Amino acid sequence: VVSVPEFPPAIIREDPRPLIFHARNGPLEVPEGDEAALRRGWQKICIFAFFFQSGAIDVQPLDEAFRDASKSRAPELGWGGLLPWNYRSDWQEAFRAISGGVLVPPILQELVLNRGRRDVAALRAFIEDVAQWRFETVLSAHFSGRTPCGPDDWRRAFRRFLDAPLLPVPGPRPREADVAFLRGVGEDLERAGVVDMREERRTSLF
């Protein structure tokens, strides 16, 4: 499980160039380095790391991307100025959906942990085994490090993608538009026989 902080960790600020690079809404936008820009950059990096191609962006055609890179106001920040997408106005909703608690990274939700009946059954048993422990914090695999999390938070992080509860399960849950790309990759891998079929989500009241 991971927990995503709203603000960039101190170690990331030691070299703020990636934050400034990703803070822009598109490849031709003038880079900014104030606190608000660093925060935007961090949140957009998180979105990219979680989804690769989220519903918060419009990907440019290849020729357009290289054309805009040649006009970039920030080539020194990396990739020769290449930033091949523009952010939509609702990009912050994508970030809010993955912050504010612990969650299983979407790539694991869509491509790894929801596949194969025996594997999902073993995962459910593991979740319950860990939930018997008495704990109040966990060490986030990435992003936040030490973060508040008890047995119920732990269970809910998995139930939000393994189950289909009739009532909402509290905690961060990616938007459908943002997991669509990963879900499509999973379907392609299923058809190619590379991964097992998705296990049906179990319906529950809450």
pTM of the prediction?
0.91
Q: Which residue has the tokens 């030490």?
A: 146
The residues facing 87 across adjacent strands are 57
- Please answer whether residues 71 and 28 qualify as being in contact, where contact means their C-beta atoms are separated by less than 8 angstroms: yes
Residues 6+ apart with CB under 8 A from 177: 54, 55, 56, 94
How far apart CA 70 and CA 62 sit, in angstroms, is 13
Sign, CA dihedral 3-24-57-84, equals negative
How far apart CA 65 and CA 183 sit, in angstroms, is 25
Per-residue pLDDT of the chain (206 residues; tens, 9 = 90+): 999 999 999 999 999 999 999 999 999 999 999 999 999 999 999 999 999 999 999 999 999 999 999 999 888 888 888 999 999 999 999 999 999 999 999 999 999 999 988 899 999 999 999 999 999 999 988 888 899 999 999 999 999 999 988 888 999 999 999 999 999 999 999 999 999 999 988 887 66
Q: Are strands 2-3 and 163-165 parallel, antiparallel or unpaired?
A: unpaired
Q: Is 178 exposed, middle or buried (0-12, 13-18, 19+ CB in 10 A)?
A: buried
Phi, psi (5° rounding) for residue 103?
A: -150, 160
